[in-house]
Chain A
């Protein structure tokens, strides 16, 4: 059964949906730091428990929350094997020339794969419960102080938001072009690496052209709809942060602190 591109916003009224994007973004980075900072089993238990609670609070079904992880099984396996076989360490379990399977390497592999998976799920939760327009507004608000050193903050926020928003669209388009090229004889499954790399040219070139065409069309459409230089842009709603927003920020900061305390123990 086909899965649609992951990471797209799913409408809802859950706690995470209602949380202000200006808080969700910093919370995401704080929790990301907590994931990277996990150094012991208890550290991982803590972040896994926090993410499980967040999935419950998001109201999203578990398969949707972990969908992007399922798409990169192969990549995760490669990361694990690279760490397990080339990390080295003293506790060697088996060796074949320069390749050594060590306990330390396997631990490192599990840690890196675990971090990637947890950060991906966090990212999924963020994008699936936050509208791209909310992300733009939040980014613009958070990087506002940089305006004083000449950074065009509104434009930067808009560029980032559009880039995020177009990932699923481009993935869908890539799938369609891939299908069209397969239909006219392309073979993407060749086992020889040079042949395999060359076989992707019929896919990469049209996708790039399409992305540039889309960018040009979008720029024209935005201009036609009145978008000018983003300076002095007004907002329809100016909502102050709610109690739950302050609460979420505090809890996330505390989780991060606990994580670093666990690291020291």
Chain B
């Protein structure tokens, strides 16, 4: 399911009457099954863009098309949109409310038309995909779980509806390194199964290693987009990494200051390791 974003703008007014343009003239295309990262400074419009793609806000200009159909056109089936596009907001654990984990995860399936056994099977699948023992967790109160577990339950709740497009807003913020790794591994798995993933993050390593394409926002404008590696290289060359650079890129800069110049294509730790190995073997550019 491809997403075409055409001249998308979104503005709102502050109580003082001042107009704020959160997004200005965004145009890009996200292909079916892609894994896209969105990065940019705080207040650059990343979350607003996700909310617009999910159809939770209406744009003040431009269009968003899913498979060629304008999602804000009169008569577009919003319920179908909810089934196709899943959103995991920042701190999704704050959405939990039901008395048991099973009921909470099943919440999104209430209007799906599935039978009770089908719903149970779907809930079991979602919880097991998120690494839970279904029988052990199903009757527990979601509010009594740890922070990381709550987040996984909340994500399972979105996953249970089997959306074709999954939007994540800062999903790994506040997670410990193990949970972060586990989460990114899981996202890659569902992306490989065909789900389009769009992930907003400030974590440069995660974006560099896991996403295939990148959108860079600054002050509501799309300042760069393209294959992840190319975007990171361009950002470093054009803006000296002001909009974000990976740790490997920072180390490369530091080495260059100490007269050890590595190729500009170093973006991830693996790239850095290969470049250093080559350098030690005497094959580097010197």
A176 closest partner in B (C-beta)? B89
Binds A, one of B10-18, B23-31, B34-42, B170-178: B10-18
A177 engages B17 (CB within 8 Å): no
CB under 8 Å from chain A, chain B span 91-144: 92, 94-98, 107-112, 143
Closest CB in chain A relative to B137 CB, distance in Å:
18
Mark interface residues in A198-211 (1 if CB within 8 Å of B CB, else 0).
Answer: 00011001100110
Residues of A within 8 A of B109 (CB): 185
B157 at the interface (CB under 8 A from A): yes
| B107 interface neighbour in A2, A63, A179, A186, Cβ under 8 Å | A186
Closest CB in chain B relative to A175 CB, distance in Å:
10
A183 engages B86 (CB within 8 Å): yes
A128–B89 CA distance with the chains assembled, in angstroms: 31
Interface CB pairs A-B, < 8 A, 26:
A1-B12, A2-B12, A6-B15, A63-B17, A67-B15, A128-B15, A177-B94, A179-B56, A180-B87, A180-B94, A180-B95, A183-B56, A183-B86, A183-B87, A184-B95, A184-B108, A184-B157, A184-B161, A185-B108, A185-B112, A187-B111, A201-B97, A202-B98, A206-B97, A209-B94, A209-B97
CB under 8 Å from chain B, chain A span 164-189: 176-177, 179-187
Residues of B within 8 A of A184 (CB): 82, 86-87, 95, 107-108, 157-158, 161
Residues of A within 8 A of B179 (CB): none
A97 at the interface (CB under 8 A from B): no
B69 at the interface (CB under 8 A from A): no
A18–B86 CA distance with the chains assembled, in angstroms: 49
Residues of A within 8 A of B94 (CB): 177, 180, 206, 209-210
Closest CB in chain A relative to B34 CB, distance in Å:
20
Residues of A within 8 A of B (CB-CB), count: 32
Closest CB in chain A relative to B188 CB, distance in Å:
22
A1 engages B107 (CB within 8 Å): no
Residues of A within 8 A of B17 (CB): 61, 63-64
B51 at the interface (CB under 8 A from A): yes
Residues of A within 8 A of B143 (CB): 209
Residues of B within 8 A of A182 (CB): 56, 82
B95 engages A181 (CB within 8 Å): yes
Known: A1-B13, A182-B82, A184-B86. Contact between A202 and B108, CB under 8 A? no
* Other A-B pairs beyond A179-B56, A183-B89, A185-B109, 8, CB < 8 Å: A1-B60, A3-B15, A4-B12, A180-B95, A184-B157, A202-B98, A206-B97, A210-B94
B217 at the interface (CB under 8 A from A): no
B187 at the interface (CB under 8 A from A): no
Residues of A within 8 A of B85 (CB): 183
Known: A177-B95, A185-B107, A202-B107. Contact between A1 and B157, CB under 8 A? no
A8 at the interface (CB under 8 A from B): yes
A205–B94 CA distance with the chains assembled, in angstroms: 10
Closest CB in chain A relative to B108 CB, distance in Å:
4
A3 engages B89 (CB within 8 Å): no
Q: Which of B16, B85, B96, B112 has the most CB of A within 10 A?
A: B16
Residues of B within 8 A of A185 (CB): 82, 107-112, 161
Residues of B within 8 A of A201 (CB): 97
B15 engages A183 (CB within 8 Å): no
A92 at the interface (CB under 8 A from B): no
Mark interface residues in A51-79 (1 if CB within 8 Å of B CB, else 0).
Answer: 00000000011011001000000000000
Q: Which of A64, A182, A184, A205 has the most CB of B within 10 A?
A: A184
A59 closest partner in B (C-beta)? B16
A180 engages B92 (CB within 8 Å): yes
B49 at the interface (CB under 8 A from A): no
A3–B87 CA distance with the chains assembled, in angstroms: 23
A187–B89 CA distance with the chains assembled, in angstroms: 18
B54 at the interface (CB under 8 A from A): yes
Known: A180-B87, A205-B97. Contact between A10 and B16, CB under 8 A? yes
A10 closest partner in B (C-beta)? B16
Give me the 5 closest cross-chain CB pairs, A-B, nearest first.
A205-B97, A61-B17, A185-B108, A2-B12, A184-B108
A64 engages B15 (CB within 8 Å): yes
CB under 8 Å from chain B, chain A span 92-150: 128
A260–B87 CA distance with the chains assembled, in angstroms: 57
Residues of A within 8 A of B15 (CB): 3-8, 10, 64, 67, 128
B57 at the interface (CB under 8 A from A): yes
A1 closest partner in B (C-beta)? B12
A206–B150 CA distance with the chains assembled, in angstroms: 13
Residues of B within 8 A of A209 (CB): 94, 97, 143
